[in-house]
Amino acid sequence: MDLVNRPRDPVDTNTRTEALNLLKAKGLYKTRARVAVIGVLLQSDSPMSQDQIAQRLRHRYDRVTIYRTLASLRSAGLVHRAFTGNRTWQFELSRNCWEDQCHPHLTCSRCGKTHCLVGLEPPIACRSYNGFVIHRQQVHFEGICPQCSPCAHTDGH
């Protein structure tokens, strides 16, 4: 059980405790990979791709393990996916939003990071529209994030 506390993973004690609590609450096995992945997502303010998570964890875990870890967390409801313009999934914790009703996201064309736009209204259409039954909806933007557009606040627009 103490093997879970692998020192090299970039997860501090508080985050690790929180991750363990989340796993416990869902009745999931407590494994190093899961603690590490949840830790990374807890410390991130934006969704992350499998590759970004793996990099953050210094490739200490196999690609497949990360995918499967995310799948477990997802089916437990702890994590959900957001789709973006490029064809990679972005994963984030299901704290304020869920896979079927998610705030909009913006993917920055310059730095490639996906940001959460929590201030914008998520619901565009209700459960059914014109014969279509709507299960999930997501809004995606492409553009430039504030960090990448220093001219944003000097620009008159």
Chain residues that interact with DNA, rule: CB under 7 A: 1, 3-4, 27-34, 49-51, 60-65, 67-69, 71-72, 87-89
Least distance in Å: CB of 85 to DNA? 11
> What is the gyration radius of the CA atoms in the chain, in angstroms?
17
Round to whole Å and give the CA distance between 70 and 93.
Answer: 10
Task: For residue 19, give Cα distances in angstroms to 33, 38, 124, 129, 136.
Answer: 11, 6, 33, 39, 27
Contact between 70 and Mn ion per CB under 5 A:
no
Contact between 66 and Mn ion per CB under 5 A:
no
Least distance in Å: CB of 115 to a second copy? 7
Residue with the CB atom nearest Zn ion in the bound state: 108
Spell out a b/e string for 88-117, using b for 16 or more CB atoms within 10 Å of the CB, else e.
Answer: ebbbbbbeebebeebbbbbbbeeeebbbbe
Query: Binding segment for Zn ion among 16-24, 31-39, 68-76, 144-152 (CB under 5 A)?
Result: 144-152
**Residue 114, helix vs strand vs coil:** strand
Q: What is the Cα 55 distance to its own chain's centre?
A: 15
Binding site for a second copy (CB under 8 A): 83-85, 87-89, 104, 106, 109, 115, 117, 119-121, 124-125, 127-146, 149, 152-153, 157
146 closest CA partner among 118, 108, 119: 108
Among a second copy, DNA, Mn ion, none, what does residue 63 contact (CB within 5–8 Å per kind)? DNA
Q: Of 70, 73, 116, 145, which lies in the binding site for Mn ion, with binding defined by CB under 5 A?
A: 116
Least distance in Å: CB of 112 to a second copy? 14
Q: Of 25, 111, 120, 152, which lies in the binding site for Zn ion, with binding defined by CB under 5 A?
A: 111
28 closest CA partner among 96, 79, 98: 79
Q: Which residues bind Mn ion (CB under 5 A)?
A: 92, 116
